[in-house]
Amino acid sequence: MLCGRDTPALGGAEEWLDIIGVGYRPGNQWFYQGETIALDDGHYRPFAAILQEVWQRYQRPLLIAETGAEEDMRVPWARYIFEQAVQAMQAHVAVEGICHYPIADYRSWSEEKHRPFGLLGMQDVNGCRSLYEPLALELRGQQIRLAGLLKDAEPGNQAVSA
């Protein structure tokens, strides 16, 4: 409706879209009235395919606008999202960035329980936060790899390769 394709009388138009935000978390695929679909399940759709579908539908740059996982899944999930974004980029999808959210640990909305989620831990009594080094190392490695991929993709170089 926003881009005017469905119900144009509402005033939507293509020019209202400049970038599409895609939020994606580990539990975003599930069976109707059932369990979450695991990444290794044959029914699971790779995130790169979803990014390609959104790109084909809107033909606008994409921002992975909110993604993250809790506890021990933080690093593997960050790696999965990055790898899927690279695959989508290799398929000529304009992925402009990834926003890890939340970047800092927090207390749950309903329980006052600590949620180890972020790159930065809970504040201590002095207001300082500790760094979750495994995730920091993963993100730094991704920055280095992406810089190399982008350099390879510069005019005159070969296509982006993983």
Q: What is the pLDDT of residues 104-155, one digit of tens each?
A: 988 777 767 787 888 999 989 999 999 999 999 999 999 999 999 888 877 6
Going from N- to C-terminal start, the domains of the chain cover 19-24+43-118
pLDDT of 161 over the 50 cut: no
Mean pLDDT score across all residues of the chain: 90
Query: Sorting pLDDT into bands at 50, 70 and 90, what band is 162?
Result: very low
User: Cα–Cα distances in Å, from 92 out to 88, 103, 108, 126, 145?
Assistant: 7, 28, 38, 47, 18
pLDDT of 92 over the 70 cut: yes
User: Cα–Cα distances in Å, from 139 out to 5, 41, 83?
Assistant: 38, 26, 12
Q: Enumerate the H helices of the chain as residue ranges.
A: 47-58, 74-90, 133-152
User: pTM of the full predicted structure?
Assistant: 0.87
Least confidently predicted of 20-24, 60-64, 74-78, 116-120: 116-120
